[in-house]
Amino acid sequence: MLIALLPGLGGCAIPAVADPRAVGGLQFLDDRVLRADDGPLRIPAGGLSEVAAVDAMSPEGRERFVFIVDDRKEKYGPARALEAELIFDLARHRFSVGDRRWRFLATATAPDVARPAIIDGEALRVDRRSGLFIWASEGDTWRKSMPGIFESTPDGVLRRAFPLPAVFVPDRPGAPGAGVRPNRGFEALDVDVDGRRIIFMNEDSLAQDGAAGAPGEGPPVRVTVMNRETGDVLGQHVYRLDFFPDPPRDDLRGGTGATGAVSMLWLEDGSYLVLERAFRRDAGVRIRLYHVDPAEADDVRDLWSLAGWHGRAARKTLLGDLLAAGLRADNWEGMAFGPDLPDGRKTLVLVTDDNFNQLFQSTIIAWIALPSFDEIRARRPAQ
């Protein structure tokens, strides 16, 4: 969403803001660019906002992923995700893109389930036990279509809309006084390995939560854990976004902004990874990856507003600056775990969203390697 303003650049290359000192052990392995006509059924391969693994890698090095599409007005086809087979060469650190097909999200509905009037697909995960898709839509609050989290079958039957805690529900269309702000909804979610819990976070702070905390404290984002069967909230804590640019600059029109949380991956120990992205025409683009430990964070599920709140947020540790590690400066929006390398390192598959405007942006799938998780945990700062 943040980089949807790119046409205003007049065709210039996207300026990158990268800190070469902050690579942090990340290693760029390979990437591939998808053209619009790489999409099946003459539907453009664009608008890819998140990537999720469907299954484990085969002995031949093949693994299936799905990429949800944010075609809000459904100009090119129904609400959908692109399923693509990636073929990995672990020894040479290369991959290629194989067979592709569309998976539609809501072409039919289960009894007593209403299809959202507008679907803006931004987050997606696959429950590997059942094959069901858990996904989020930002909706369009200007047109009274609310954000939501949903569950669909791989063949497009919308089975369920999960209940949202009241703090997230906009109190009026457009610019709300409370709830999710337009285009600042749920871009990051994940499901635990048992498929029993969902974790999700809004891209930016809620309207009633304020833009920032004390001096040096970035905007508060609520990270919510939900029981998938009952829809009950099991806990909620604060994740603080980075400011952008950092340090602040007085010459920016509109003041200093912040990054946005666009993707997350839950780890078995309860910590998680977060991808933060920021763009300003007068400051460039920044993409960073963080490890987050919520173990000592306060539970804020009973707080209607976080304005003026100075409790304990989750501890975040910078893993690396993805642009400094070699990724192209573009609109990176999604990530999923890829295959492990022979040396045991975990890898990530990442994707950019071209906003259906390939003159200024691209649809890129990239592959990077992470440092060891022992090294990541050793970097954890004191609270």
CA-CA distance, 47 to 351, in Å (whole number)?
10
CA-CA distance, 329 to 285, in Å (whole number)?
7
* Per-residue pLDDT band at 11 (split at 50, 70, 90): very low
CA-CA distance, 77 to 69, in Å (whole number)?
10
Residue 133 · residue 153 · CB < 8 Å: yes
* Per-residue pLDDT band at 112 (split at 50, 70, 90): very high
- Which tokens go with 289? 């990856």
Q: Which whole number is the average pLDDT over 102-126?
A: 95
- pLDDT on residue 297: 98
- pLDDT on residue 376: 77
Residue 34 · residue 67 · CB < 8 Å: no
Q: Which whole number is the average pLDDT over 166-172?
A: 92
CA-CA distance, 229 to 252, in Å (whole number)?
46
- pLDDT on residue 361: 77
Strand partners, 224: 200, 236
Residue 155 CB coordination number (10 Å)? 10
Looking at the predicted structure, is the pLDDT value of residue 383 above 70?
no
**Mean pLDDT, the chain, whole residue set:** 89
Sign of the four-CA dihedral 158, 182, 52, 314: negative
Q: Which whole number is the average pLDDT over 106-128?
A: 94
Residue 265 · residue 190 · CB < 8 Å: yes
- pLDDT on residue 202: 93
* Per-residue pLDDT band at 221 (split at 50, 70, 90): very high
* Per-residue pLDDT band at 282 (split at 50, 70, 90): confident
Instruction: Write down the residue that tokens 């998140």 correspond to.
Output: 50
50-105: per-residue pLDDT in tens? 999 999 999 999 999 999 999 988 889 999 999 999 999 999 999 999 999 999 99
Q: Which whole number is the average pLDDT over 142-162?
A: 93
Strand partners, 335: 350
CA-CA distance, 47 to 181, in Å (whole number)?
21
In terms of average pLDDT, the best of 14-28, 247-261, 281-295 is 281-295
- pLDDT on residue 73: 83
CA-CA distance, 314 to 15, in Å (whole number)?
31
Q: Which residues of 29-45 are buried (b: 16+ CB within 10 A; e: fewer)?
A: bebbbbeeebbeeebbb
Q: Which whole number is the average pLDDT over 344-352?
A: 96
Q: Of the given ranges (137-141, 200-204, 213-217), which has the lowest mean pLDDT?
A: 213-217
Residue 119 · residue 105 · CB < 8 Å: yes
DSSP 377: H
Q: Which whole number is the average pLDDT over 109-118?
A: 93
Residue 328 CB coordination number (10 Å)? 20
DSSP per residue over 33-68, as a string?
A: EE-GGGSGGG--S--EEEEEE-SPPPTTSEEEEEEE
Q: Which whole number is the average pLDDT over 121-142?
A: 93
Q: Is 378 helix (H, G, I), strand (E, B) or coil?
A: helix
Question: ∠ CA 217-294-150 to the nearest 5 degrees?
Answer: 100
Strand partners, 321: 288
CA-CA distance, 289 to 252, in Å (whole number)?
25
Phi and psi at residue 5, to the nearest 5°: -85, 5
- pLDDT on residue 258: 73
* Per-residue pLDDT band at 326 (split at 50, 70, 90): very high
Helices (H), the chain: 373-378
Residue 204 CB coordination number (10 Å)? 25
- pLDDT on residue 10: 35
Q: Which phi-psi region, left, alpha or beta, contains residue 26 (left: φ > 0; alpha: ψ -120 to 50)? A: beta
* Per-residue pLDDT band at 213 (split at 50, 70, 90): low
Percent of the chain topping pLDDT 70? 91
